[in-house]
Amino acid sequence: MSRNFLFGFLLLFVFSGMAQKKVNEYKYVIVPDSYLFLEDKDAYQLNSLTKFLFNKYGFEAFIQSDDFPKDLSNNGCKALHADVKEESGIFQTKLIVELKDCNNKVIYVSEQGKSREKDYKTAYHEALRNAFLGIEKLNYKYIGDAKVLASDNSQENKKLPARPTKVKEEVKVDQVDSNKNTILYQLNDMYLVFEAREYGYEVFAKEDALISIGKAFKSSNNKSYILKTNDLSGHGFFDSYGNFILERVNPATNKLVKDILARQ
The residues facing 194 across adjacent strands are 183, 203
* Model pLDDT, residue 181: 82
* Model pLDDT, residue 179: 47
Q: Is 26 helix (H, G, I), strand (E, B) or coil?
A: coil
* Model pLDDT, residue 19: 52
Do 207 and 145 touch, CB atoms closer than 8 A? no
* Model pLDDT, residue 188: 80
Regions of the chain with pLDDT less than 50: 1-2, 4-18, 146-179
* Model pLDDT, residue 231: 74
Type of residue at 181: N
Which of these, 113, 114, 32, lies nearest to 66 by C-alpha position? Answer: 32
Phi, psi for 12 (deg, rounded to 5): -60, -40
Return d(Cα 203, Cα 251) in angstroms, integer. Answer: 21
Return d(Cα 215, Cα 225) in angstroms, integer. Answer: 10
Return d(Cα 81, Cα 14) in angstroms, integer. Answer: 23
Return d(Cα 153, Cα 173) in angstroms, integer. Answer: 18
* Model pLDDT, residue 49: 96
Type of residue at 196: A
Distances (CA, A) of 121 to 46, 95, 240: 8, 13, 59
* Model pLDDT, residue 1: 46
Type of residue at 21: K
Evaluate the CA torsion angle 115, 120, 122, 127 in order and state its sign: positive
The residues facing 29 across adjacent strands are 61, 80
Return d(Cα 210, Cα 148) in angstroms, integer. Answer: 13
Which of these, 126, 135, 128, lies nearest to 107 by C-alpha position? Answer: 135
* Model pLDDT, residue 180: 53
* Model pLDDT, residue 147: 42
Return d(Cα 224, Cα 150) in angstroms, integer. Answer: 29
How many other β-carbons are positioned within 10 Å of the β-carbon of residue 137? 11
The pLDDT tens digits for 94-127 are 999 999 988 888 999 999 999 999 999 999 999 9
Do 59 and 29 touch, CB atoms closer than 8 A? yes
How many other β-carbons are positioned within 10 Å of the β-carbon of residue 210? 27
* Model pLDDT, residue 252: 75
In 93-208, DSSP assigns E strands to 93-100, 106-109, 113-115, 166-172, 182-187, 190-197, 200-206
